[in-house]
Amino acid sequence: MKAYSTNNIRNVVLLGSTKSGKTTLSEAMLYEGKVIERRGSVEAKNTVSDNTEIEQMNQRSIYSTPLYAEFMDTKFNIIDTPGADDFIGGAVSAFKVCDTGVLLINAQQGVEVGTEIFARYARQYDIPLIVGINQLDSEKASWENTLESMKEAFGKQPVLIQFPVNPGPSFDGFIDVLKMKYYHFKDDNGTREDLEIPEQYKDEAEELRSALIERAAEYDDTLMEKFFEAGVLTEDEIRKGIGIGCRAGEVLPVFCLSARKDIGVKRLMEFTIRTASSPADRKARTKDGKEVECKQDAPTTLFIYKTAVEQHLGEVAYFKVMSGELTEGQDLENPETGDKERISTIYAVAGKKKEKVTDLFAGDIGCTVKLRAAKTNVTLSQPGTDIVYEHIKFPASKFRTAVKAKEQKDEEKMSEALSKISAEDPTIIVEYSKELKQTILKGQGEQHINIVKWRLKNENKIEIELFPPKISYRETITKVATANYRHKKQSGGAGQFGEVHLLICPIVEGVEATNRFKIDGKEVVLNVKNKESFDLEWGGKLEFYNCIVGGAIDARFMPAILKGIMDKMSEGPLTGSLARDIRVYVYDGKMHPVDSNEISFVLAARNAFKEAFRNAGPKIMEPIYNVEVLTPSDYMGACMSDLQNRRALIEGMGSDKGFEVIKARVPLAELYKYSTTLSSLTSGSATFTMEFADYQPVPADVQEKLLKAYMEEDRDE
Ligand SMILES: Nc1nc2c(ncn2[C@@H]2O[C@H](COP(=O)(O)OP(=O)(O)O)[C@@H](O)[C@H]2O)c(=O)[nH]1
Ligand SMILES: [Mg+2]
């Protein structure tokens, strides 16, 4: 394959809800681009894109797959993405390297929540979209309903470039109002006839053509002038105007498709090549906020957007050439670590098919093998080039589970395998929580995690067990309390003696510290000699006040007292959870001239603190998450009552682009497997996001249960 120059490259990401037909479309594109001679199908498990065992088993895409077609003297790079929420990581990384999105809408369903999710992401990543209404050949296809749902979701953005002739099982062509032609298909294999528009479609075609011209004129002054003077625009002018509107995110050009019958695929590719951005039209952002142009005559820089371990090849790094020219054998370095890397071989990629090439120009996508330390998000550049590209920001996890190996002996192997999987798929996060003493596995949904389980079993021969993770509770207090504790031991040898009197009170935001307290009805004023304030690792604060008067305790024992308190803060008096937001005033005590030592004061302080804590209106606090659910209105009621059963506090409801949005605050303890429940409640048509908000006291009944559970656990040990 020859090296394509930047202007002759298009990078297109295929988007759309599950089963809209992205993988089938990619197959047809590869066929049109002569990369394959026969089209496979998802059912026959022989598509170029879904080529892994697990994807074929599930008959769906799980990874994002880079592909290409050579078409109209252009290298048409395609990234086929999985549509499901669970596998969103693949799409997010594709946004980083693509310049245009083709958003598929299933004509049987119209706009789905999945469609809306991808449209949102595209806006967020500034990816212009072209819409393909697919499956127009299916029995339940409805052109009208689909347009209606698009109007609701996208307002006036959709602009029809085509309309179908005979949508439904006998779908065999469409009228194109940019070309003013009738494209008729003679077979199910993309054989196209370019015909005059039949009489009965002429009026509709004229009407849509006028609408198209008007929209095309809207985004450019010279086109607008020309339109006012002449009343028409040429084909090239229309394309130009629509292209500008599309890049500005104001226009969604709409095409007709049957990916299965290869109808409309070639036209969509032609339009994309002529109208959509080339890589040169977009600038990439660096970590320090600068912009880098994608051009050939510049130092070579690459960005690795994905890695995978593949049969016969080992670790494969997929990248985009962000600037300059990449040549086989070139030496590059990672500007962040100084690591040197030689690019020994370069491949153009169509799924498993890897074609060796000698050069790739700025804007092109390819892969290489045998890098020493290159991972997703790494920039590699010609030595001396001080450019580091902004990392891909993957969405926050939505599914959290504890994991352990079925066989204790596999525990270490499991950790290693999990960290490899997480390097390949950064939306899988594995961490050992010292606090919970559990390995926590996080991902985008239960299916996502199940894929990990399957891979461990089949690729690494490790069986794992998943179970509900513990919750990171916190403990705090709500009122003032005091306690005295004397630690005394006099058996044999040297004795131990320490006595600590302390007062504790809660730290409440906006309430100033005081040294006046009422204890047993008496006003007490403490004499603060010294204050230390600690931001706790686990959130919240501890303030420690030395109020000792008259040398009751030597200053040299104060660190031991603080240590005793810290010990108890990190293993709270109620349930052993971490404690936070407490002020401690040590105001009196006693020493023994011989027996007092540090350990005595550690123990005295620990016990005094524990006792005071239990009398200070102690509360267990739990992590609360902000949850936002997006659902079709049919399922609104079901989603609401489910949330209410999860102790949710509903903060807002509203509709957005034809869907209902619910905003709620929900305790993490109630969110285990929420993604799974939501999916089954709504037949997979809803989605949600969750984000840590803050800690809040648990309700009394929950506190009771937690205390009881802790007592029982304690007794067990
Ligand atoms: N009738 C019809 N079925 C299609 C079309 N495109 C895809 N399909 C079928 O829809 C299902 C999902 O297709 P797939 O390409 O895997 O969708 P993806 O999840 O978006 O990648 C498969 O059974 C396909 O055969 C089409 O244009 N017409
Ligand atoms: Mg797919």
Q: In order of start, what are the domains of the chain with their CATH numbers?
A: 6-209+251-281 (3.40.50.300), 284-381 (2.40.30.10), 399-470 (3.30.70.870), 478-617 (3.30.230.10), 621-702 (3.30.70.240)
Ligand 1 in reach of 16 Cβ (< 6 A): yes
Whole-number Å distance, alpha carbon 16 to ligand 2 midpoint, is: 9
Place of tokens 């840590």: 692
pLDDT surpasses 60 at 370: yes
What distance in angstroms lies between residue 340's CA and the mean position of ligand 1's atoms? Answer: 44
Residue 19 CA, ligand 1 centroid: distance in Å: 5
- Burial (CB count <10 Å: 0-12, 13-18, 19+), residue 382: buried
Q: What is the CA radius of gyration of the chain?
A: 32
Q: Ligand 1, residues 18, 23, 24: which to mutate, most atoms within 8 A of Cβ?
A: 24
Q: Could you give the CA distance from residue 531 to residue 543 in angstroms, rounded to a whole number?
A: 7
Question: Mean pLDDT, the chain, as a whole number?
Answer: 94
Q: What is the dihedral of CA 155, 156, 162, 168, to 10 degrees?
A: 20
Q: What is the pLDDT of residues 588-645, one digit of tens each?
A: 999 998 899 999 999 999 999 999 999 999 999 999 999 999 999 999 999 999 999 9
* Whole-number Å distance between alpha carbons of 306 and 93: 7
Q: What pairing do the DSSP bridges indicate for beta strands 541-546 and 582-590?
A: parallel
CA distances from 702 to 197, 212, 275, 564, 694 (A): 70, 61, 60, 29, 18
Instruction: Tell me the CA–centroid distance for residue 21 and ligand 1, in Å.
Output: 4
pTM exceeds cut of 0.85: yes
Strands (E), 205-260: 252-256
Which residues have C-beta within 8 Å of that of residue 705, sequence separation ≥ 6?
none
CB 33 near ligand 1, within 6 Å: no
The span from the CA of 320 to the CA of 93, in Å, is 11
Q: Is the CB of 482 under 6 A from ligand 1?
A: no
CB distance 61 to ligand 1 below 6 Å = yes
Q: Is 258 in the pocket of ligand 1 (CB under 6 A)?
A: yes
Query: Residue whose CA is closest, atom 25 of ligand 1?
Result: 42
Q: Is the pLDDT of residue 554 over 90?
A: yes
CA 710 to centroid of chain Cα atoms? 35
C-beta 22 within 6 A of ligand 1? yes
Read off the tokens for 264: 């409309």
Sorted by sequence, the CB contacts under 8 Å of residue 44 that are 6+ apart come out as none
How many angstroms separate the CA atoms of 673 and 156, rounded? 38
Largest CA distance in the chain: 113
Q: Which atom of ligand 1 is nearest to the CA of 261?
A: 27
261-297 CB burial, b ≥16 within 10 A, e <16:
bbbbbbbbbebbbbbbbbbbbbebebeeeeebebbbe
User: Between 311 and 383, where is the model more confident?
Assistant: 383
Specify the residue with its C-alpha closest to ligand 1, atom 11. 19
- How much distance in Å is there from the Cα of 319 to the middle of ligand 2? 21
Q: Which ligand minimizes its atom distance to the CA of 17?
A: 1
Q: What separation in Å is there between the alpha carbon of 138 and the centre of ligand 1? A: 10
| pLDDT of res. 525 | 93
What is the 626 CA–ligand 1 centroid distance (Å)?
35
642: Cα separation from own chain's centroid: 24
Judged against a pLDDT cut of 80, whether residue 489 lies above it is answered with yes
Q: How many residues does the chain have?
A: 717
Question: How far is it, in rounded angstroms, from Cα 224 to Cα 241?
Answer: 9
The mean pLDDT value for 673-683 works out to: 93
Q: Calculate how far, in angstroms, residue 142's C-alpha sits from the geometric centre of ligand 2.
A: 22
Ligand lying closest to the C-alpha of residue 59: 1
Where is average pLDDT lowest: 260-274, 377-391, 480-494, 595-609?
480-494
pLDDT value at position 685? Answer: 84
Phi, psi of 330 (to 5 degrees): -70, 145
Share of the chain above pLDDT 90, in %: 86
Which DSSP symbol is given to 35? S
- Ligand nearest the Cα atom of residue 49: 2
**pLDDT exceeds 50 at position 717:** no
Residue 466 Cα, ligand 1 centroid: separation in angstroms?
A: 33
Measured distance between the N- and C-terminal CA atoms of the chain, rounded to whole angstroms = 68
Residue 521 has pLDDT above 90, yes or no: no
Give the amino acid at 515. N
Q: For residues 150 and 154, give the distance between their C-alpha atoms in angstroms, rounded to a whole number.
A: 6
Q: Is 244 exposed, middle or buried (0-12, 13-18, 19+ CB in 10 A)?
A: middle
Q: Is the CB of 138 under 6 A from ligand 1?
A: yes
Q: Rounded to whole angstroms, how far apart are CA atoms 278 and 287? A: 23
| Contacts within 8 Å (CB) and 24+ apart, 324-327 | 324/296, 324/297, 324/298, 324/299, 324/300, 324/362, 324/382, 325/3, 325/296, 325/300, 325/359, 325/360, 325/361, 325/362, 326/300, 326/302, 326/359, 326/360, 326/361, 326/366, 327/358, 327/359
CA–CA separation, 25 and 198 (whole Å):
28
Beta strands in 248-398 (DSSP E): 252-256, 283-285, 291-293, 301-310, 314-323, 325-327, 330-333, 340-343, 346-350, 353-357, 359-361, 365-369, 379-381
pLDDT of residue 714: 65
**Tokens in use for 178?**
């940019």
Confidence band (pLDDT; 50, 70, 90) for 297? Answer: very high
Mean pLDDT of 88-98: 94
* Contact (CB, 8 A) for 404 and 440: no
- Any ligand 1 atom below 6 A from CB of 47: no
Q: Judge if the beta carbon of residue 135 lies within 6 A of ligand 1.
A: yes
- Ligand 1 atom with the shortest distance to the CA of 134: 27
Sign (positive or negative) of CA dihedral 312, 316, 318, 322: negative
pLDDT of 73:
96
- The residues pairing with 624 across neighbouring beta strands, listed in sequence order, are 667, 694
